[in-house]
Structure 1
Amino acid sequence: MQKLVKAVQPALIHNPNSRKNAQDSGRFLRMARRKMGDFCVSALNDSHLPAHLRELKSMGVDLIAISGGDGTVSACLTTIANVYYGTSLPAVAILPSGNTNLIAGDVGFGLHGEKAVDRLLRPEGLQSRVRAPIRLSWPDEGRLPVLGMFGGCTGYARAVRIAHSPNVLKFAPHDLAVFFTLFTSMASLLFRRSRHSWMGGDELSWAVNSDTSSRIEINRRSFLFMATALEKLSHGIWPFWNTDPAEKGFRFFDVRSFPKDLPNACFNLLRGQAPEWLRSHGDYVSAVARDMLLETDSEFVLDGEVFQAPASGRIRLEQGPAFRFVYV
């Protein structure tokens, strides 16, 4: 943990389409523009971000607050890394206002509304945490890489598809939307028609070159795969563990198709516990990686954004650049 000790120039990127911002009739944006002037920008969609961030960089901005949900944060981190490439990355403050705010649960700013803007305008003494997002890329295609904090495929991607349906989004409160996807995966097993489809999972093979151990490879069908660069989720849920605390990188969790002892595993992981029997169980794998190559026929979801599987099926997950997230 560090504190800001030098003078910094803050700016705010506001997503007017995020859930909370869309509901306040523009009050927060008007207040922020009155206080911050040209250092407050509203980005109607992600395609506007490069131009906005190039302008902010030219104005000497080295602290960027983001008012939006997880998808907005992911898009901003990706664009910041590109625009500031080769120079020091600005500090980042997360002001959660989206449908899902999982990232803010770990590295959120801690204030909202006018109090948050006033504190950003006098940033000296703010504390900070460092996180390195996951870089998602497609080795065999020309798609540009994206940065994000929480994602997955196979059963996780299926559950997110259900969570994104209009009937669910209407009632999903903020970060609980992500937890809904996990419970959806489990609840589907209660129904005979969907049980075999969900339990059977999707094709998934992956390989990791570990810094502290030998190469790990898995080739099987997967019921559920998730990865995160965060260090905390809401309500104590934590479906990850690390057998070697010295190893650095992002965490991942893979459950093979038709897993045994699934109720007991869920009971423990949804409380943030990983007993020894689970750590040594062949159907459940959790580890840390800096560079991971996946091959799957599943979509991949990163911070709520759904990416279609490439024709080759090959996806790469890497540890991205380190960002400093400030908070009160």
Structure 2
Amino acid sequence: MRFALIHNARSRKNRRSGSVFAAEAKAILGENFVPSDSREGMTEHVRHLCARDVRTIVIDGGDGTVSTALTAIARVYPADRLPDIAVLASGNTNLIANDVGFGLRGMEAIRRLQQGAAMRSSIRTPVRLSWPETDRIPVLGLFGGCTGYARAVRIAHSPTVVRFAPHDLAVGFTLLSTVVSLMFRKSRESWLSGEPLRVETSGHAYDGDSFMFLVTGLSRLSRGIWPFWDAEPNVEGLRYLDVGAHPENLSRATAALLCGRAPRWLRRHPDYVSGRTDDMMLTTKSDFVLDGEVFAPSEHEKIRLERGPAFRFLHA
């Protein structure tokens, strides 16, 4: 199999393993060994891969590296000729790899790909994040959110948490941290009050204060956590959850969602809205976090979330 490797030497597991793997992989792949770079630098690297008609791209890093790479690939490759993707879980957070990861790392993964044997695969459509009425370039990612989620991520990214919390529990910790904050009178009201958010999707719109908004193109998270449910069976699209301000039974709801359960009372409760959509517009002053990267709102306060192009992810 002819493939390229996008390698993030700064990712947590790659820092631990040193430069040995990078040197071996570069010796094998030559010009198809690509160091992880900025979004614009990555686009230029991927443009060369497209020109050489590389049909499989391996991404060795965490969620942020995957997001940067998928964004570059979608910008450069024709929509009907996207390459296959193999994700090696090497980052600080590996939510994407937990769902669509290759299953191997290092030279073991390289050797498996070199064999060129048939592999299992799955299709995922990332979230396409854009800012209408601006010249900001859209980005792709697979898990994101705003309002309380953006606030909780800032806590989860603090040096103390990053150092001591299990990295693959990032989303679980983020959700749990909101509940813990409610135990303290000083922070309870500011958390519960939420932030103004207008949601427009499929001809339906509503305004209100949002405690937490989440969206994903994944089908599974770490450790059984799953804060979504399908309000309408057999409907495809991005999954989303909007929790209103001062939500009733928040501790009970969080406990259920951290275990991947959505009981009937939760599905019917007006404070918890979950569903699927191909296209939605948000109006908010909140930052938006996508695969761990924080994006500031535009002056127009508009955020568009669309179902991105379908990628095929390979599994060893």
Shorter-chain TM-score tier: over 0.9
Contact 1:99 1:173 in 2 (8 A): no
Which residues of 2 match residues 238-249 of structure 1 at below 5 A?
A: 238-249=226-237
- Aligned twin of 1:260: 248
Counterpart of 1:302 (choices 271, 290, 297) is 290
Which residues of 2 match residues 128-277 of structure 1 at below 5 A?
A: 128-209=121-202, 215-277=203-265
TM-score norm. by structure 1 comes to 0.94
- Structure 1 residue 275, shift from structure 2 partner: 1.2
Counterpart of 2:13 (choices 10, 14, 20) is 20
Contact 2:79 2:309 in 1 (8 A): no
Query: Which 5+ residue runs of structure 1 have no aligned equivalent?
Result: 1-7, 210-214
1:189-233: CA deviation from partner (whole Å, max 9, x where unpaired): 000000000000111010110xxxxx3322000001000000001
Residues of 1 paired with 2:281 and 2:237: CA distance? 14
* Aligned CA-pair RMSD: 1.2
Residues of 2 paired with 1:326 and 1:180: CA distance? 28
Residues of 2 paired with 1:9 and 1:245: CA distance? 40
Residue 57 of structure 2 is aligned to residue 69 of structure 1: no
- Aligned twin of 1:5: none
Alpha-carbon distance change, 300 to 290 in structure 1, aligned in 2, over 3 angstroms: same
Contact 2:176 2:254 in 1 (8 A): no
Deviates more, 1:119-128 or 1:193-202: 119-128
Alpha-carbon distance change, 266 to 86 in structure 1, aligned in 2, over 3 angstroms: closer
Give the number of aligned pairs. 316
Letter of the aligned partner of 1:299 in structure 2?
D
Letter of the aligned partner of 1:192 in structure 2?
R
1:94-137: CA deviation from partner (whole Å, max 9, x where unpaired): 00111100000000001111110101112321111000001000
Contact 2:175 2:254 in 1 (8 A): no
Residues of 1 paired with 2:79 and 2:252: CA distance? 48
Q: Percent identity?
A: 52
- Aligned twin of 2:314: 326
- Structure 1 residue 60, shift from structure 2 partner: 2.0
- Structure 1 residue 244, shift from structure 2 partner: 1.9
Counterpart of 2:110 (choices 107, 117, 122) is 117
- Aligned twin of 1:292: 280
- Structure 1 residue 85, shift from structure 2 partner: 2.9
Contact 2:279 2:304 in 1 (8 A): yes
Contact 1:67 1:94 in 2 (8 A): yes
- Structure 1 residue 234, shift from structure 2 partner: 1.0
Query: Which 5+ residue runs of structure 2 have no aligned equivalent?
Result: none
Deviates more, 1:249-258 or 1:19-28: 19-28
Residues of 2 paired with 1:131 and 1:321: CA distance? 8
Deviates more, 1:57-66 or 1:161-170: 161-170
1:33-65: CA deviation from partner (whole Å, max 9, x where unpaired): 122222212124333212211111222210000
Alpha-carbon distance change, 232 to 304 in structure 1, aligned in 2, over 3 angstroms: same
Residues of 2 paired with 1:34 and 1:192: CA distance? 58
Name the SS for the 2:42 alignment partner. helix
Residues of 2 paired with 1:199 and 1:258: CA distance? 5
- Aligned twin of 2:303: 315
- Aligned twin of 1:212: none
Structure with the largest fraction of helix: 2
Alpha-carbon distance change, 275 to 49 in structure 1, aligned in 2, over 3 angstroms: same
